[in-house]
Structure 1
Amino acid sequence: MPITPTSADAMETLRRRTSEKWGVYADDVLPMFVAEMDFPLAPAIRRALHEAIDLGDTGYVNPLDPGARKAFRDYAAAAWGWEPDIERMGITTDVSVVIVESLRRLIEPGEGVVITPPIYPPFYDLVPEAGGVVAEVPLHDDGSSYALDLEGIDRELAAGAKGVLLCSPHNPVGLVHDRATLEELSRIVARHKGFVISDEIHAPLTHHGVEFTPYLTVSEEARAHGIAAESASKAFNLAGLKTALFVSESDRMTDLIRSLPEEVTFRAGQFGLIATREGFAHSRDWLDGTIAAVQRNADLLQAELAARLPAVRLRRPSASYLAWLDMSALGWGDDPAVLAEQHARVALSSGPRFGRQGAGHARMNLACAPETITEAVRRLASVTG
């Protein structure tokens, strides 16, 4: 599949957007925090949404329409060699709803759910929303790479936690779990008669040359006790259109999905369903170009940091467009994003929000123009100079 170039919209165009990324800060701030892209929509998605508007196709989602589910299945087959059964999938609003509604049926109030910080901040809220208690097992960090702490997860499950909320690929560090790690995780969870909910929203953004492994493909145990949360929203910049998929591979988890109130389905967005279909079915060249652009931006960020801010450490992500920056050597405190916004006018995601392991860190969004990265590093360096 050819890789087509992807370029960000012009800054004057971006400033007209009203979404969170562009609507929260004043115009003198470079917004590089929330996970929204600065790239134009994929042409196929744009055309389909315009057609839907022209037709007035703005009603409720049709749960019998297989379009989005089939498009995801075909994409997963082409990208990962996995062909999930569309009859075992469910439709809903977003990945957070997949997580909460699944947890509500898999735990009793007060039971523990393992998360692995530094982690996507809403995980800390989604578990208690479902009635559970967060059990933290931080990622293992050897100073050069991150990995799941499988022994720690085993201990938490032995101590009474009921399951694992997996981030795969892992936000914010861009870790893509290898098959052997996921296989061992599935054996550990099965031994404790637990479950795994695998948030795979960043999976389509796995970088070129890196292999992503869907959790539900690694073993019979994983297929029996797992639910995958899938969405096109990060890959194609569709977060505001509100569509995600429950995906299962076992009768037990399929029954769970089918037990959901019908409103869980009807809260999804019609435009999101259309855009999901067009993204996975007809926008793979655009996605490849976007990944290539992000990887070039990661190269640029690494070079700019080396030249202007060598005290800031970047460990290259293997997925998504998010860069996890260790800024602790700058002496900007536990939350360097505060000083970055106040003095450099660069908005980064607060590291401590990802867990206490995020102290001294910040997350930067690389789905932007190269000039934005260069300017952001220049501004940050001016504070230290």
Structure 2
Amino acid sequence: MSVMVSAFDAHRTRTSEKYTAYPPEVLPMFVAEMDTMLAEPVRDALVTAVTNGDTGYVGHGRALPEAFTDFAEDRWGWHVDPDLVRTTTDVSVAAVEVLRRVIEPGDQVVIMPPVYPPFWEYVAEAGGSVTEVPLLAPEGDADPFDTTAGWRMDLDGIARAFADGARTVLLCNPHNPLGLVHARDDLAALARLAAEWDAVVVSDEIHAPLVHADATFTPFLDSCQEAAGLGVALTSASKAWNLAGTKCALMVGASDRARGWFDGLPGEVVERTGILGYTASVAAFREGGPWLASLLAELAANRRTLAERIGEVLPGVGYRQPQASYLAWLDLRALPWGDDPAAALVDEAKVALGSGPAFGRQGNGFARLNFGCSAETLDEGLSRLRSAYERRADG
């Protein structure tokens, strides 16, 4: 049984940003939200909570830290101490509040564009200054089926940033929008660099449960012995189980240093966790495995379809299958839509894609396509893009 629903059916019943930002005739393939039904255990847990009126302020139990600890152990062999897990509303809040604990006003924070657009805002809100160390782009023509020859961290560039005074890295692992799963060796090298310079790594790992079968996820804090004392991981059930609106995320540490940062957080950071998000997250990590396996199978099929068809749909496109998640990073620089193809395609194709330049200047000429949808929806999106290309070519 498919976990996906038609985007057109969702349009009629859902009120989230994905289905209301554009008119109904525009196919929404932009924001990182999937066209799924809820996993049954998550739905049942939420229905029970609402039926029982359990919608007050979040409690102070250990259910979610322990559920995540078991999930991390089972899925990645990562031994997490539940006493070093805290919750808050979402990963955005977690990033800002952790950064506030580890930097001083004006401190440089390294980010690696092209990267999730709010990273710039997180640093600014926390009082820091962004230092960009772009990822190293792959060489040669893109092979849509090659998931191994992609982008990498510029470790030499990060070393130069540390030498220039940066002492914090805001890491994205897996990396959005590329679906890049950083190799253990690269993460360990980053950790050793950070140890050498007494730097901190704050690792956004929200897409980790969505790693595909041909890649292996390594939590930064578990990448090598030095890493455990160097930072904090941020994660949530929200991306994998499509729960963003329920508002719950986790901050995970692996050292007394992290415990000190957590103990210094304002109490409201934890108190603002949504109780329904907490409830949903416990159910997802405890009982959502079968649903997640079905989801990953559907995403893998869509990923393969995209690799098989994208060159025919958009001749000249550059694309590599992502190692994680449901986001395709399309290089459209050889096509006639300028620096921001998504802006043109929403009108010409009636398809809403993610704007490439929003991910940094390295995204000029790129667009992000969300294939977390039904096979029929993906087919419709590709057909519309093909028609838009043909009209341009004929014009």
- TM-score, normalization: structure 2? 0.94
Listed as ranges, the matches of 1:1-16 within 5 Å are: 5-9=2-6, 11-16=8-13
1:140 matches 2:136: yes
Query: Residue 329 of structure 1: which of 328, 334, 346 is its match?
Result: 334
Partner of 2:83: 87
Given residue 39 of structure 1, which amino acid in structure 2 is its aligned partner?
T
Whether the 8 Å contact between 1:202 and 1:320 is mirrored in structure 2 is yes
Whether the 8 Å contact between 1:14 and 1:38 is mirrored in structure 2 is no
Secondary structure at the counterpart of residue 329 of structure 1? coil
Distance 1:71 1:95 in 2: 18
Given residue 92 of structure 1, which amino acid in structure 2 is its aligned partner?
T
Given residue 119 of structure 1, which amino acid in structure 2 is its aligned partner?
V
Q: CA deviation at 1:248?
A: 0.4
Q: CA deviation at 1:5?
A: 4.7
Listed as ranges, the matches of 1:117-136 within 5 Å are: 117-136=113-132
Distance 2:316 2:12 in 1: 31
**1:296-320 per-position Cα deviation (integer Å, ceiling 9, x unaligned):** 1011112221332222221110001
Whether the 8 Å contact between 1:208 and 1:292 is mirrored in structure 2 is no
Whether the 8 Å contact between 1:119 and 1:354 is mirrored in structure 2 is yes
Q: CA deviation at 1:10?
A: 6.3
Q: CA deviation at 1:13?
A: 3.7
Partner of 1:104: 100
**1:334-358 per-position Cα deviation (integer Å, ceiling 9, x unaligned):** 0000111011110000000000000
**1:91-112 per-position Cα deviation (integer Å, ceiling 9, x unaligned):** 1011111111111111111110
Query: Residue 56 of structure 1: which of 53, 57, 74 is its match?
Result: 53
Q: Note the residue ranges of structure 2 that are not aligned, 5 or more in a row.
A: 140-148, 391-395
Distance 1:285 1:348 in 2: 30
Whether the 8 Å contact between 1:196 and 1:227 is mirrored in structure 2 is yes
Distance 1:68 1:210 in 2: 27
Listed as ranges, the matches of 1:1-385 within 5 Å are: 5-9=2-6, 11-63=8-60, 65-143=61-139, 144-385=149-390
Given residue 173 of structure 2, which amino acid in structure 1 is its aligned partner?
S
Given residue 133 of structure 1, which amino acid in structure 2 is its aligned partner?
S
Given residue 30 of structure 2, which amino acid in structure 1 is its aligned partner?
F
Q: CA deviation at 1:281?
A: 0.5
Q: CA deviation at 1:230?
A: 1.3
Distance 1:159 1:281 in 2: 44
**1:2-55 per-position Cα deviation (integer Å, ceiling 9, x unaligned):** xx7533246224432000000111010000000111010000000000000110
**1:255-310 per-position Cα deviation (integer Å, ceiling 9, x unaligned):** 11112111101111000000100001001011111111111101111222133222
Secondary structure at the counterpart of residue 334 of structure 1? coil
Whether the 8 Å contact between 1:341 and 1:347 is mirrored in structure 2 is yes
RMSD: 1.1
Distance 1:288 1:325 in 2: 26
**1:208-264 per-position Cα deviation (integer Å, ceiling 9, x unaligned):** 132100011122321111100011000100100110111001101111111211110
Q: Percent identity?
A: 50
Given residue 79 of structure 1, which amino acid in structure 2 is its aligned partner?
R
Q: Note the residue ranges of structure 1 that are not aligned, 5 or more in a row.
A: none
**1:128-151 per-position Cα deviation (integer Å, ceiling 9, x unaligned):** 100000000000012351000000
Q: Which moved more, 1:11-20 or 1:33-42?
A: 11-20
